[in-house]
Amino acid sequence: MAQFNNFDKNHLPVNDGFYMPAEFSKHSATIMIWPYRTGSWCYGAKAAQRVFTEIISAISKHEKVLVLAGDNQLQSAQKALLHLNNVEILNIASDDAWARDTAPTFLVNGKGALRAVDWQFNAWGGEYDGLYASWENDDEIPYQLCKIKGIDLYNAHPFVLEGGSIHTDGEGTLITTEECLLSQGRNPQLSKSEIEEKLRAYLGVSKIIWLPKGIYNDETNGHIDNICAFVAPSEVVLAWCDDKDDPQYEISKACLDVLESSVDAKGRKIKVHKLPVPKKPVCVAEEDLLGYDFEPGEDVREAGERLAASYVNFYFCNNAVILPQFGGENIDSDREAVGILRSVCPDREIVPIYARDIILGGGNIHCITQQIPLADQCC
């Protein structure tokens, strides 16, 4: 495996033709990580492991799934996934199970070649406002994975970035949020234009659209993958709220204003599909809280805490959309989301999965998955 660094001392990129494809394009595989962290997944992660298994099963019907598990989790993952085909378990350690943010970002060059980017990971804010105190295993995942699979890797350290903070259309346009990428816990030494330079260089994009904020109360400082996602070139879904008394209303309206006044890298106006957030906020219950075991320095939860529930946090796999559902008082909202995604993605199977046990960990289906785009080099 080779490691590349495309920046000289003046941080000038070398353009070698690699770019990040859209998530809705074809995949070689999906990466997931077996959940176990007791400060994220309550009651010993048993419920989380069940829903992870359901999601792995759903994705494996459409593409290969690589599941990472450290020494202490390997037997648990093997036992739970033994009955599934098209699944490979890799012995790679992690601090938690957010593959979107800790696995590498994969690139292709249009000639069948595959490479990956190893961003620096600091648990969503490091010492400033990170969510746990130790993240060394998470930060090593890209190197360990690419070493096993023989995938060439760009070393982007010390630039801090998580996969959930970016979405691309595969045609030169990237969307992100100012709330996240300009946060003090990531790259405070860099200006907005310097951050854009890094994104252009490593991801092969030419146009960056900055939305102001992400979903209300998102502990990742407003990741884009909770509020807006490309579903086709020049076409997005946007988390929406009609209730003017809900703090999400102003956030979504501000994002809509930006999108409606923007064009993509090819000069096209962007079509926006509104995807309403659950009508009833999804909150931590007292019985949930009793099941956590937080480590020193780890962000803790509170009973009644509003979680960043959003249907935009779905995942595209080959020929399907894996869509979170929240149940309870949000059954009607769940059905509405299925209907909207079915109309927006008519050529894909919509696979709704009850995911409250994931949102209790702080993210959702998109946050626990990372795609490897289709290339001649397979995994």
- Taking CA atoms, 30 is separated from 55, 61, 160, 293, 316, in Å, by 11, 12, 22, 29, 10
Candidates 42, 228, 367, 379; catalytic one:
367
Within a 10 A sphere around the Cβ of 337, how many other Cβ atoms? 26
Q: Which amino acid is at 135?
A: W
Collapsing DSSP to helix, strand or coil, 177 comes out as strand
How far apart, in whole angstroms, are the C-alpha atoms of residue 361 and residue 59? 21
Residue 273 DSSP one-character state:
E
**Cis, bond preceding 188 (omega within 30 deg of 0):** no
Sheet with 235-240: strands ordered across: 228-232, 235-240, 271-276
What's 195-220 look like in SS3? HHHHHHHHHCCCEEEEECCCCCCCCC
Give the E-state strand segments of the chain in sequence order.
Answer: 3-4, 27-33, 64-69, 87-91, 105-108, 114-120, 152-160, 167-168, 173-177, 207-211, 228-232, 235-240, 271-276, 315-317, 320-325, 349-354, 370-373
Contact call for residues 222 and 214 (beta carbons, < 8 A): yes
- Taking CA atoms, 133 is separated from 122, 292, 374, in Å, by 9, 17, 35
Within a 10 A sphere around the Cβ of 57, how many other Cβ atoms? 17
Task: List Cβ neighbours of 274 (8 Å cut-off, separation of 6 or more).
Answer: 237, 238, 240, 256
Is there a catalytic annotation at residue 367? yes
Instruction: Give the distance, in angstroms, between the CA of residue 370 and the centroid of all CA atoms in the same chain.
Output: 7
Instruction: Give the distance, in angstroms, between the CA of residue 21 and the centroid of all CA atoms in the same chain.
Output: 15
Contact call for residues 308 and 216 (beta carbons, < 8 A): yes
Contact call for residues 336 and 326 (beta carbons, < 8 A): no
Residues annotated as catalytic are 367
